[in-house]
Each structure stands twice: as structure tokens, then as C-alpha cells.
Homo-oligomer: A and B are copies of this chain.
Amino acid sequence: MVADTASYHRIVLDSRPAGRPTADNFRLEEVAVPTLEDGEVLVRNHYLSIDPYMLGRMSTGVSYAPSQPLGEVMIGEAVGEIVQSRNKEFPVGDHVVGQLGWQEMALSDGQALRRVDIGAAPMSAHLGVLGMTGVTAWYGMTQICSPVAGSTVVVSAAAGAVGGVAVQLAKAKGCRVVGIAGGSRKCKYVMESLGADACVDYKKHADSAALGRAVGSHAPDGVDAYFDNVNGWMLDGVLPLMNRFGRIALCGMISRYGDTPMQLSAHSYLLISRLRAEGFIVWDHLDLWPQALQELTDLLQSGSLRSGESIAEGIEAAPAACIGLLSGENLGKQLVKLN
């Protein structure tokens, strides 16, 4: 619970990071709990979702979304409980997910809130496997990679939140799955907890060619689909391994975060191997969310899907959790649990 119900804490973006963010870019504030106007609700946030896209929002570069304004509460999804309501749609006691920001309490007009059933899964899962993370993996895997049983699927950032769900969805389809992750701890997690057939530690490979050879050694029949969270040199390594008519879901560009954009050298394989590469953002496909959430819930309840989480404690831990995520420290979904 929030200690003092007259005020709460939030984190604002204080300055723009030069490259990767540091603790100095964020500022903790204590502010008064607002008075509700008609139609509004007050949500007490229980978990914050920390996601790689946040770096793009903190910068002013070209992205698919507007930049995070300085001095305002950090954007981000959260799950919480409605503690005050002047909106008939959302009574006190409902649990909701929304773009509620890095703060202990959030005011909302209810428009962008999604009610969640905490009987179906723990609250935190609604930010992970049953939230944007899960639906992102579902969309890229089922709508773009569309693998069939027996085919080979490669997933990069396989120990991350989205990659981890993508690995499990491909396994549930009966595919051979080769993950790519950084370090032996993550590779062990990808194979032992997520069920991948193999996992390549990219930190052991100096360049695209070496990485490609390592992935190829675990994909004797070539690669039919690639769920790419990294882009850049990793995409360059996998492109030459792709089988004819292969599909590449372009989900993220971790390789670019905070660094100089990477040049791509192996793009000629798109033509040589007649590949389809498609970028996507899960928010463009709201019509498919009900189907995705139903399938993900079924898989979760049947035990075919695990909800891997790394949880930091307290609002003041959010900046470090975000910095850690961007350095690849997390296994699975990075969350901040609010006290």
C-alpha cells in the first residue's frame, strides 16, 4: 500500500540519455493524489512493465511513436487496482492494465484501460505473457513466421520477455527452435526453462559470420522462420541460413539501442532466397488481441507456456531496472513491483 494516501511517488524523465540511459536521467518526485473529476478513476499500480521500446521514447530520433516529454512521468504500462472511481465502467476493485506510467497512483479517464481477470492468471502475467509482451510474440510468430510442425525457427533475444514467449509458441507448434542469447546463464534458461532445442551464446562469436556458423550448426535443415528482436549484425548472421520462402518477423532493434545504427550486408538474401521480412507493432493489430489472449491463456493454463519474470522492488528501483534491461540483465519479463 502507499504509505501516505495524500501523496504518492512517481519518476519523471529529467534529461535525455546520450546513448544508453543512466540513473541521472531520471528524477523521483512526490506529488499529491489528485481529486477525481467526473468520468475519471484512480488506479493504484501494483506492477510496472519495463520494456526495450522505452529507450526509443527517451530519445528524439525517428521512431514509430512520439518522444517522452521531459519533466513528465515516464511512460509505460502498469497493472493495478481501481481505488477511487467516478466512472461507471470501472468500479472500485476492478483490476486494469493501461499506459499508467512509472508511478504509484495514476489518474485515468478509462479510455485506454483494459480490464483483466486476476482469477485467470496472477496480476503480473497481464503485463507479460497475457499482455503486450505475449501478444507481440504471438503476432510475430503466428501471423508472420507462421511455422509448421517440423520446421526450424530461430529466435533472437530468446531469454527476453518477447523472445521467451516466441520460443515457447514455436515449441508448442512442434518446431525445432534455436535461440540466440547472451551468456551461458541465459542460454541455460532458454533451453531448460523455455524448452528450446539449442541456444547460441552470441557473446562467444565475434561477428555475423561466426554467429551464423554457430546457429547453422544447430539448424541442419536450414532456417524457415526467424523472429528477430535484435536486427543489425544478428540479422546479417541469420539471413544466409534462411531457406527459400522463409519469413522474418522484425520485432525489435536491440542492437541499435543507444549505439550507431548498424549497416546490413546480407540483405541480398531477401531476394536470393525469396524471403519475406515484415516489421510490426502489436498496437496496429488490436482486432487480433482477443484471439491472441485466448490462445495465450489456454497455453498458460495447459502448462505449455511459462511466465518468466525478473522483478525489482519499489518505484525507486524502476530506473535501474530499465538500465539493466537495456544491458540485457533480465531473464524474461522485467517488472517493478510497487509496495
Q: State the A residues within 8 Å of B (CB).
A: 62-64, 231, 235, 240, 244-245, 250-253, 256, 261, 263-265, 267-268, 270-281, 284
- Distance to closest chain B CB from A336 (angstroms): 26
C-alpha spacing A56/B135, complex, angstroms: 42
Closest to A249 in B: B271
Contact A64 B273 (CB under 8 A): yes
C-alpha spacing A284/B271, complex, angstroms: 12
Specify how many copies of this chain sit in the oligomer: 2
Contact A276 B273 (CB under 8 A): no
The interface residues of chain B lying within 8 Å CB-to-CB of A240 are 62
- Distance to closest chain B CB from A117 (angstroms): 30
Contact A275 B274 (CB under 8 A): no
C-alpha spacing A256/B64, complex, angstroms: 31
Contact B284 A279 (CB under 8 A): no
Contact A64 B274 (CB under 8 A): yes
From known contacts A275-B279, A276-B276, infer whether A265 and B261 are also in contact, taking CB-CB under 8 Å.
yes
C-alpha spacing A245/B278, complex, angstroms: 9
Residue of A231, A240, A264 with highest tally of chain B CB at under 10 A: A264
The interface residues of chain B lying within 8 Å CB-to-CB of A281 are 271, 274
Contact B231 A271 (CB under 8 A): yes
Partner of A268, one of B253, B273, B274: B253
Partner of A261, one of B268, B270, B273: B268
